[in-house]
Amino acid sequence: MKFNKASKSMTIIVLTGLVLFSSNLSIIPASLTTMQLTLTGNVTGVLTEAEIKQVLPTVTGYGGYEKSTGTIITGSIWKGIHIPLFLSSILGDLDYNLSVIAADLYSRNFTRDEVEGGLRGFDKDNNTLSIKVIPVLAYEENDTALSDDDGPLRIVFIGENNQSILTISKYWVRQVDILRVSLNTGETITLTSNSIPDSTTSNASFSVSILMLILTSTLIVVIRRNKILK
């Protein structure tokens, strides 16, 4: 195969860019392979697996959901972070809104009232139950770590006091990567511990930068090639 000067330059630069990109596949968030939770917005920090499992308030309970098709997914036993307790421990009585963001950037927003039990819970006959609905950032289902399709972290909903409950499936979020807390007061709270860094770099943002580098390099080569061909 013969290459002219321009095609050689393009090949070298594009291949170099692809090597760089393939060696930085961190566009897939680290939390998909290593349990990690990032907090953004007015509350910032990064929580490791050890902190998630050993430091934060945990809870175990039963919960299932109803799909938009009407199919009922019966309750499993979930274990994970008790989200209302976790947020109240760092926010006190401050009013907030919570955004749950998945690895694919799908997000679901909740008000403080919804986080603290305001969502409707019901039984398999669609009868509304008076028990409180507790949102949980789960890492175990039936004493087993969540599958790659669901975890390592997933927002689920259980009934208080070990009571089984159903909720609407649209509230459940798989592969949770980020919790964004928005405070009406606008103040900022930084979670600090020996294992939580002061600042973090987004792996996804880094990989997007690599992609931009590839595209820019390719554009430069195309321009050079056009000049040579003239």
DSSP string, 48-113: EHHHHHHTS-EEEEEEEEE-TTS-EEEEEEEEEEEHHHHHHHHHTT--EEEEEEETTS-EEEEEHH
Residue bearing the bigger pLDDT, 8 or 18: 8
| Range among 46-50, 154-158, 206-210 rated most confident | 154-158
| Cα–Cα distance, 87 to 68 (Å, whole number) | 29
SS3 string, 9-29, reads HHHHHHHHHHHHHHCCHHHCC
- Are residues 114 and 88 part of one domain? yes
Q: What is the CATH number of the domain that holds 117?
A: 3.90.420.10
Specify the pLDDT at position 197.
Answer: 35
Specify the pLDDT at position 55.
Answer: 87
Is residue 216 over pLDDT 70?
no
- Are residues 56 and 107 part of one domain? yes
- Are residues 145 and 218 part of one domain? no
Number of folded domains that form the chain: 2
Specify the pLDDT at position 19.
Answer: 34
- Token duo for residue 163: 């009571």
- Are residues 213 and 184 part of one domain? no
- Are residues 94 and 79 part of one domain? yes
- Are residues 124 and 89 part of one domain? yes
Q: Which residues pair with 133 in a beta bridge?
A: 159
Q: What is the pTM of this model?
A: 0.69
- Are residues 83 and 10 part of one domain? no
- Are residues 130 and 102 part of one domain? yes
Residue 48's domain comprises 34-197
The tens digit of pLDDT for each residue in 60-84 reads: 999 999 999 999 998 799 999 999 9
